Amino acid sequence: MADSEQQRSWCIRVLGVDPAAPGAPAGPGASVLAGWQAAKEAADAQLDALARALRSRGDPDFDQIAEYGLFGITGGQSTVGLIAALRGYDAAAPAERAAAGAALGKAVAAWRAQLHASALVDALEDNPLGVTVDLRGTFDAAFRQIVATLRQPA
């Protein structure tokens, strides 16, 4: 958790995440990649539910969305940089943690900005099939944990 209001402001401004918001911080040494993966699994489960609802309709447009439009959001090449940064942070020696943390912070900020700017995510979260999809909430909770981890003393 941020140890000062200044740090909290920095997190909100730079990373777009409020570390003071609900979400338990990971303990020292916790894997940030594992935190991301847990969020991704939760998001994928939501998308899977949406995909099933789409496919159950037997409509080719819905099928195309289910097949192409969903899981690329949590996978695909744009996520590669984020995952590399998460791995890099987990693997970093104590002396390299600060640099790895900075790189991870940038990657999180970039990925999160894309997520929040995406009209596609808007549309999926606002789907008319009645399936609950909350990608931003799901990932933001994980990012809060990650940011809290970054702010903890080594």
Query: Which residues are at the interface with another protein (CB under 8 A)?
Result: 51-52, 54-69, 72-73, 75-79, 114-115, 118-120, 123-124, 127-129
Nearest to another protein of 9, 78 (CB atom): 78
Q: How far is the CB of 147 from another protein (least distance, A)?
A: 21
Q: How far is the CB of 106 from another protein (least distance, A)?
A: 17
Half-sphere exposure of 33 (CA within 13 A, CB side): 15
Nearest to another protein of 72, 137 (CB atom): 72
DSSP-assigned letter for residue 29: T
Cα–Cα distance between 51 and 64 in angstroms, integer?
10
Q: How far is the CB of 3 from another protein (least distance, A)?
A: 33
Nearest to another protein of 27, 58 (CB atom): 58
Q: How far is the CB of 12 from another protein (least distance, A)?
A: 23
Nearest to another protein of 52, 102 (CB atom): 52
Cα–Cα distance between 120 and 35 in angstroms, integer?
24
Q: How far is the CB of 78 from another protein (least distance, A)?
A: 5
The b-or-e profile of 7-39 (16+ CB within 10 A means b, else e) is ebebbbeebbbbbeeebebbeeebbbbebbeeb
Backbone angles phi, psi at 113, to 5 degrees: -60, -40
Cα–Cα distance between 140 and 146 in angstroms, integer?
10
